[in-house]
A and B are shown apart, each in its own frame.
Chain A
Amino acid sequence: MQQIVSRLQLPLWLSLAVLAAFPLFELTFYTELLTKIMIMAIFAMSLDLLVGYTGLVSLGHAAFFGLAGYTLALIAPQYEAANLWLTLGVAILVSALAALVIGLFVLRTKGVYFIMVTLAFAQMFYFVFHDTDLGGGSDGLFLYFKPDAAIAGFKPFDLENTLHFYYFVLISLVVSYFLLCRILRSPFGHALVGIKTNEHRMQSLGYPVFYYKLASFAIGGSLAGFAGYLSACQYGFVNPEILSWHQSGSVLLMVILGGQGAFYGAAIGAFVFVLLQEFLSSLTKHWQLFMGVIIVLLVLYLPGGLRSIGPLLRASLLGKTANVKPPAGNDPPDIAQEESANDRSDSLH
């Protein structure tokens, strides 16, 4: 039986269509805002792989985001555009290596200690860039030219063009999403969710749990690096704030707001978080107070995150109980949902 459009796929395709059509309205400010949001969505999804699927609540994820941004700013030539493909590769590689090395240390800890050591490592990077001249100190570094996408003389698109940059980011978001869903469907992905659910049993079934977690941490770090690279491109500068614990905290909030354990949830979280931030800060300079209240209310009344609104509404309309359980403690991540978001409906389990 072939299900053509699953319940989850329809809203996803619709959102994609809206995002793809948005620049036609020629609202440059909002096009740039959406670009930023989509970059944050990639960042949030990369963290959801750790938080929602591997059970690793990291409070230092900005380290990998910021490292890639700094890598671009440091290796880019000052008076001409850098090669996009080369610098992107190097930046992601730096983030991946950093995640591997940091992972070797932090993954020896669990729970609240894990949160603390990831925070500590990220702060180390923050102070390295803040207090030394390596990356221009607290002022950061400027990037005067956006990277050049030319391959052997042929230039498929131009990142200096706002629209081109928008679509480049949109495609990056879509590719990241499907890549992550694909990983989740693999034996490796299933093992990660097993580790989140019952790490001890995974160990006794013969899984070298540490290496699985390390691989997940490195994949999450690389993808965070990808987002950090795009962000540095967009703004044309990097400063230590992009590695700060505020940044790590914000992205964690996005994951929690959207609903951990589903990549589209993390993306929803990024959209709502950044839009709220923009909206509230345009109203008052005490916007963080209102932001805090809204977050508390959302967490209290929507413990499953914003992504659970749909099923809850449907359930109350149909008078049935919702099929999305709020994640209380060890919630089951939605492998099934995420898989149906992909292309198969013949799932065996």
Chain B
Amino acid sequence: MTEAILFTDNLSRHYGGIAANSQVSITLRRGQLHAVLGPNGAGKTTLINLLSGDVAASHGSIRFGDQEISGFSAHRRSRIGIGRSYQKTNIFPSFTVFENTRLAAQSRQPRPFKIFSSALSYKEIVDTALSALERTGLSDRRDDVASTLSHGEQRQLEIAMVLATRPDVLLLDEPLAGMGSEESAQMVQLLKQLSPHHAILIVEHDMDAVFAIADVITVMVNGQVLEHGPPRQIRSSVAVQQAYLGHEDDP
């Protein structure tokens, strides 16, 4: 049995009368890649925002190990090991690729307010940043300014920054969106490599990729969990086909 790291219990978020998430209960386990599918507006990004602390829950609980964390701020959740990437690329465009990841790695430095040492003198942080770049295939571009990267490369950088914080849980919001087929294949490969040591939650529209790599799939519609199970079960689920996959098959 794999180790369960992050649980939600009846997690809900309302915006006025609209329930963006309603009574969502999921469990993320180390070694398991958990995909969330659903049509636009199903509440997938809201779920990630709730887990990462970008948005506060209206009801329900989030537990990390034995700890109730629904009251934690976003930076505190990041510090305990929940890392996230964004659907809309969210980097430091004017910094170099290296500085983007170095800054991410630096967030784990034990004494952050040492103000008279050089930022580049911390070997461990520099190494963490470099290895995150290597894993995401960005080593060649490390000295380039991030805004000059292609869209696909910026998506890779987005992931590299999350990895540099060395999280246990990865919350990835459409990591493959806007990537070319080669970059996409590389990213899928990376996700497979990461999967055994991390608990990964991924929101993704690329069905082929999702069914190829996911261990568990949750299908959401209108903020609620419609179906939950291994890919085989989801593929054959009548409810899912009606609600979601059916549309995909239409020409």
Contact = CB atoms under 8 A, between A and B. Distances in A.
Contact of A191 (B106, B118, B122): B106
Interface size class of B (residues with CB under 8 A): 35 or more
Contacts of A15: none
Interface in B75-92: 75-76, 78-79, 84, 90-92
B165 interface: yes
B174 to A, nearest CB: 16
B144 to A, nearest CB: 11
A200 B73 CA distance: 12
Contact of B113 (A182, A188, A190, A197): A188
B74 A189 contact: no
B79 A206 contact: yes
B99 interface: yes
A201 interface: yes
Interface size class of A (residues with CB under 8 A): 20 to 34
B95 to A, nearest CB: 7
Majority secondary structure, A binding face: helix
B116 interface: yes
A208 B75 contact: yes
Contact of A349 (B78, B113, B122, B143): B143
Given A204-B84, A205-B103, A208-B75, A185 B94 contact: no
A206 B78 contact: yes
A198 interface: yes
Contacts of A349: 95-96, 98-99, 102, 120, 143
B96 to A, nearest CB: 5
23 contacts: A186-B118, A187-B122, A188-B114, A189-B115, A189-B119, A194-B92, A197-B93, A197-B94, A198-B90, A200-B90, A203-B78, A204-B54, A204-B84, A205-B103, A206-B76, A206-B78, A207-B107, A208-B76, A215-B113, A344-B118, A348-B98, A348-B126, A349-B98
Interface of A: 182-183, 185-191, 194, 197-198, 200-209, 212, 215, 219, 330-332, 344, 347-349
Give the 8 A-B residue pairs with the shortest CB-CB distance, closest first: A332-B94, A206-B78, A206-B107, A349-B99, A190-B119, A187-B119, A206-B79, A188-B115
